[in-house]
Structure 1
Amino acid sequence: MSIECTVIKEIDYYMESIELLFRIINKKSYQNLKTDLLKRTDEKKKAVISYQLDKLSFIQEEIERKTDVNNPVIKFYFTSFISENICIAKILFQCVRHSTFSGNKNEVIHFINNYLSAIKDNNTLELSFDDVDLRTSAYENNKTVTFTDRINNLECEPAQKWQLLELIEHSSKHAEILYEILEKTVSELKEQEIILLELKETATEYWMEYFKQHSFYKLMNSFYNIKEDSYPSKPTFIRTQIMACNRVIFYGNDENVGDYHILDVGILFDCNYKVSKRQLSNQELSNGLKLLSDPSKFEILCFIRNKKAYGQEIAAELKLTTATISHHMNTLMKLGLINIEKSDNKVYYQMNKEAVNYLLEVTKNKLLED
């Protein structure tokens, strides 16, 4: 059964502005990224990557020149928070990023407020990004855990926990303030629309041509070691990312939640991207080791080390819910630590030994290199 793929053509100026301001405030320059990438890029791709990153560097310099980088309000929303790749602004917009929702300012703020408010009443508190996974359950040892205690149980610094608590409790206020910042940047970013459209259209056309000849299953096999026809058949939206040019993020992997999948692909990537063999940053290495040190995830990997197993089987063995297993698998998949395939209408998981070995080898080389 095929999956319907829709490549989004429009530029999301608010999301692009969040990523750009985040890079500016945290001094993540595209020129430094260019220097790093060119060291490990095929000769035939160097010219294209240089061209793209030079364009992005020009835009970054133009917007930075017009941005008060010392403004404490801007720094509050865009300074790295918990992880090197997220900030308060990204947490506020998490629900929009994980959905295909679109609307005017008031509708988006209402959507954000409802999403964050619902966290207090849901069974879990979950903040999942491309390189960090914060999750705590409302039920532990057959007892209900309060929202405040769930915040306290998150694996982050005490000051960060209270910031999250305040953010969720007063999400409307924070969304309003953030929009005031973003509207100025969006206006300035649109002055560079010719460059942005060129970069966006090139990436969009590439993926539109790709899906004329190949299936989404084939792409997932290339990206995440997922066997073809082993993924829930739901409509999928491909969003090419301009400012987040060097990241690929997949929102999905739960057969019971959501009516569609979303794949965000940075403009630097093509179908040959391989999650388990890409260059890992220090933050990604740290997050990978955190995954291995998490008791449940470690037990799951041990259980599927030498055999394939489906969700209910793993859940029964480890005395976890199938929803929890699905969540853990989604997290492990982001670093390519598992393989996924379908057989007899069941989705089977197995540890990707090559990827786990690669993670440990890179860590060893980083720590012990001369």
Structure 2
Amino acid sequence: MPGVKIVTQPYLLMEAVELLYLFMNNDSFHNTRRNFFLKYSEQLSEAEREYYETLFRTLEEILTEGTKGLDREDPELQYYFQKFQWGTARDTVCLAKIVLYSFLQGGPAEFDESIKACRERYYICASDNFSHYKIQGISHSGLDFVRCGGEETQSLFAQVDQLFLPEASKWNIYKILMEYETHLNALQERLRPVAARLQQILQRHDALFQKAIDSWRSYFAHHGLRDFKQSVLGFDMGTAQDATWEETVCFWRIGCTRVDLWQDEAAETANIGVVVRLDTSTKPSGKVMEDVSNILKLLSDKSRFEILQRLSQREYYGLELAGEMKLTSGTISKHLNVLFSYGLLNLRRVDNRIYYRTDEESVRHFLQQVGEQLFSKHEGP
């Protein structure tokens, strides 16, 4: 099959969307960095650790510089970039991603060409009021449209209404799909200066990103996307061979931990984050058992357990939580730091305050590990 095409230049439209999403939701790379080192700390050499520390620090600087002068109170930016609040889902979805990612399908990399690609695919899908397309779901990659062939579909309104979202969000999505050109033009106007600034910033740090990209270039010199999906992502590919699609790989900078896949009848594209690693193996079982034991000891403290309970309901900052639990600020700070260090909390910084929230996914993963270690067969004397 043909070799994999490597695109090293950033997809500026998508990177600008990710940048504004982080900014408007008061997010940062702090939690991303912590989770990365918790996962890979046992596998990194000293040189690798230093490289990733520099990479995360640089991404934080890019976020700050790239959004300088923007206003989080801007109503238009809030409308398009504030994330949906929906159940316990962790996908980072906002209206801007619905407008753009639903129809972009991974390329092309140039800003104006990306806008053109969104417009063209939208009108293909929207012909006959979306009667030939079905919405399969929604994620951080937007709406997932699939062609139905001869299958009869529901109206677009009925399909949007079935999404697991708040009613207001569903109505906004429906309006956007009905008035797509208006919203695409509005986003194009807001994103163009951000993308232009971001391009200049990323160029200054190109050598840093290229080091990560070069490792993937080496991998794809000998592997295709089928190998990548099976060995790195853990997909069950079965025994069937892929068609002779054109395979393209490009790379996230701001969306540094993301892996997105797009496929049509003739081509397949993967967009891989610059901190995604080939060695995705889990920690050795002995290390997992040690971590489980330490966290169980950690949660045997009544105050720490109560903190996790309270933070599972809503965000708190330290002094607020100390007041409600009638503990000193120093005691609360120690509890929060140790819970955060074990990956049980997320944080976000707003002005001079740090807000904490229980990381539900990490807690559920820990509980799964407890079960696996408790009921695993013990080998040895």
TM bracket, shorter-chain basis: 0.5 to 0.7
| 1:93 correspondence with 2:103 | no
Q: 2:234 is matched with which residue: 224, 229, 232? A: 224
The CA deviation at 1:117 is: 2.2
Q: Which residue of 2 aligns with 1:245?
A: 256
For the aligned residues, what is the CA RMSD? 3.6
> Helix, strand or coil: the match of 1:40?
helix
Q: Distance in 2 between matches of 1:189 and 1:137?
A: 35
- 1:205-354 equivalences under 5 Å are 205-222=214-231, 223-227=233-237, 230-233=240-243, 234-252=245-263, 257-273=264-280
- 1:1-370 equivalences under 5 Å are 2-42=1-41, 43-44=44-45, 45-81=48-84, 82=86, 84-101=91-108, 104=112, 107-108=116-117, 110-111=119-120, 113-115=122-124, 117-118=126-127, 120-129=130-139, 145-222=154-231, 223-227=233-237, 230-233=240-243, 234-252=245-263, 257-273=264-280, 362=365, 364-365=367-368
> Is there any run of 5+ residues in structure 1 with no aligned partner, and where?
278-357
Letter aligned with residue 77 of structure 1: Y
> Helix, strand or coil: the match of 1:90?
helix
> Helix, strand or coil: the match of 2:276?
coil
The CA deviation at 1:51 is: 1.1
The CA deviation at 1:122 is: 1.9
Q: Distance in 1 between matches of 2:181 and 2:104?
A: 17
* Distance of aligned partners of 1:231 and 1:247 in 2 relative to their CA distance in 1, 3 Å threshold: farther
TM-score in terms of structure 2 length: 0.63
> What CA deviation, in whole Å up to 9, does each residue of 1:152-192 have, x standing for no partner?
22222211111111010001000011011101211221331
User: Paired residues, what number?
Assistant: 280
Q: Could you tell me the percent identity over the aligned residues?
A: 15
Q: Distance in 1 between matches of 2:196 and 2:248?
A: 26
> Helix, strand or coil: the match of 1:224?
coil
* Distance of aligned partners of 1:249 and 1:62 in 2 relative to their CA distance in 1, 3 Å threshold: same
* Distance of aligned partners of 1:359 and 1:137 in 2 relative to their CA distance in 1, 3 Å threshold: farther
Q: Is the 8 A contact 1:78 1:88 kept in 2?
A: yes
The CA deviation at 1:76 is: 0.9
Q: Is the 8 A contact 1:113 1:172 kept in 2?
A: no
* Distance of aligned partners of 1:208 and 1:40 in 2 relative to their CA distance in 1, 3 Å threshold: closer
Letter aligned with residue 183 of structure 2: H
The CA deviation at 1:94 is: 1.9
Mark the structure with the bigger radius of gyration: 2
The CA deviation at 1:102 is: 6.1
Q: Distance in 1 between matches of 2:109 and 2:212?
A: 22
Q: Which residue of 2 aligns with 1:350?
A: none
Q: Distance in 2 between matches of 1:236 and 1:174?
A: 31
TM-score in terms of structure 1 length: 0.65
The one of the two structures with greater contact order (alpha-carbon pairs below 8 A, sep at least 6) is 2
Q: Which residue of 2 aligns with 1:330?
A: none
The CA deviation at 1:268 is: 0.3
* Distance of aligned partners of 1:3 and 1:96 in 2 relative to their CA distance in 1, 3 Å threshold: farther
Q: Distance in 1 between matches of 2:135 and 2:367?
A: 34
The CA deviation at 1:128 is: 4.3
Letter aligned with residue 260 of structure 1: A
Q: Is the 8 A contact 2:11 2:109 kept in 1?
A: no
The CA deviation at 1:228 is: 7.8
